[in-house]
């Protein structure tokens, strides 16, 4: 029995064909994705300057030219006078009239002139008929009035217009100064007084009501006379 069982076991084992074990099937690795080299960076172009950038910086506004001696005027006798001849002196330019409430200031003007002319001070009188038609006479009439009534010896000039459409260029230049020296409506009335320094520049203004002996006016004249 044992022999038969062994034989049967051999036969069974011999009839079984052993299959070789299948190697494990692994998923092949995916091919490596080639790395793309980074695109070269495009250099940034400088932004072109606009017309606004290209414009130069605005220049500061030029100061108003204060020089007022660049005119040739006619004196009371009709002779040409270059105002530049007075450069180096302290000057008062005053528009005058013979029939004005301020006409008595002629006396104070003459007194001031006599006191300080030796120190380099001069008054230039410009008759005008612009305010209330208070200077209606001729140049000859004005000269006679000033010399006989007030003994005026400071330089007097021919009658001109100091305001309005026929304003003389000298007074256009004066009224073109910034306030308070100039501005619209300057001069405001007869006997407005404009003070000019030794360099020929207008530096101060005193209204009609300010008398020639007013301390503030005299002080300003003295200051300019002291500035050699």
Beta bridge mates, 204: 195
Cis before residue 187, ω within 30 degrees of 0? Answer: yes
100 catalytic? Reply is: yes
Q: Which residue has the tokens 């960076």?
A: 41
Distance CA 188, CA 128 (A): 12
CA distances from residue 169 to 59, 70, 109, 164 in whole angstroms, order as listed: 28, 10, 24, 11
Cis before residue 68, ω within 30 degrees of 0? Answer: no
Q: Which residue has the tokens 């250099």?
A: 43
Active-site residue (options: 81, 99, 100, 108): 100
Distance CA 139, CA 159 (A): 6
Of 188, 93, 100, 163, give the one whose Cα is nearest residue 136: 100
- Residue 169 belongs to what H/E stretch? helix 169-175
So which residues are the catalytic ones? Answer: 100
């Amino acid at each position: 029995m044992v022999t038969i069982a062994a034989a049967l076991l051999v036969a069974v084992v011999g009839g079984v064909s052993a299959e070789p074990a299948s190697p494990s099937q692994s998923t092949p690795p995916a091919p490596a994705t080639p790395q793309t080299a980074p695109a070269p960076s495009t250099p940034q172009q400088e932004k072109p300057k606009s017309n606004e950038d290209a414009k130069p910086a605005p220049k500061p506004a030029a100061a108003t030219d204060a020089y007022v001696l660049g005119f040739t005027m006619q004196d009371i006798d009709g002779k040409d006078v270059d105002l530049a001849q007075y450069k180096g002196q302290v000057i008062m330019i005053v528009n005058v009239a013979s029939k004005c409430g301020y006409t008595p200031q002629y006396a104070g003007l003459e007194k001031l002139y006599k006191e300080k002319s030796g120190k380099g001070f001069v008054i230039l009188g410009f008759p005008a008929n612009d305010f209330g038609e208070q200077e209606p006479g001729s140049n000859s009439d004005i000269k006679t009035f000033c010399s006989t009534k007030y003994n005026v010896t400071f330089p007097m000039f021919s009658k001109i217009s100091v305001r309005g459409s026929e304003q003389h260029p000298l007074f256009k230049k004066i009224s073109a100064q910034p306030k308070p020296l100039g501005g619209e409506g300057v001069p405001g009335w007869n006997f407005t007084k404009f003070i000019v320094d030794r360099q020929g520049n207008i530096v101060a203004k005193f209204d009609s009501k300010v008398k020639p002996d007013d301390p503030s006016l005299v002080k300003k004249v003295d200051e300019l006379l002291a500035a050699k």
